[in-house]
Amino acid sequence: MISTTASTRTHRRYVQNIISTWKRASEDQLARGRTWYRTAHDLADLMSEGNVTAGAGVLAALSVQKSPEDPEAVVIDRHAHDVAVGKRYGNMDRGLSNKRRYATLAHAYREAARQLGELPSTVQAVT
């Protein structure tokens, strides 16, 4: 399991891992990642007859606990974790319930997004 905080060097490595993964994305992956959260928002709207919050609640119960309406939100799931740390953990525990560890990785995604000129949610969805 990674540390709950990252040294400056480790943080830079996480950011570089994210950016490297972004740069390897195909045009199709970029296109799908850029529309992922808009699609989730529209699905939440459709499945709840206009009550996006209720629809998002259903989606969150089936997925991660983030709103499809917040483009600055960064979802740190097992895939986002593995991209940032540069290693596939398989079924190993990543400790993402620890708020500091989660925030450390979210910070790396926000920094990578800033450098790429993209929204953090888009960078996470693409990578």
Tens of pLDDT, residue by residue over 48-93, are: 888 888 877 776 665 555 557 676 788 899 999 999 999 999 999 9
Give the residue from 84, 70, 72 showing the smallest Cα distance to 127.
84
Residue 34 in this model has a pLDDT that exceeds 90: no
Average pLDDT, the chain: 88
Residue 14 in this model has a pLDDT that exceeds 90: yes
Q: At 98, is the pLDDT very low, low, confident or very high (cuts 50, 70, 90)?
A: very high
Pick the more confident residue, 64 or 27.
27
Residue 52 makes CB contacts below 8 A (sequence gap 6+) with: 41, 44, 45, 68, 69
Residue 83 to residues 41, 42, 45, 106, Cα–Cα distance (Å): 25, 27, 30, 12
Q: Find where tokens 């970029």 sit.
A: 30
The runs of H, that is alpha helices, within 1-127 are 8-23, 27-47, 52-62, 78-85, 99-116, 120-126
Provide φ and ψ at 120, rounded to 5°. -55, -40
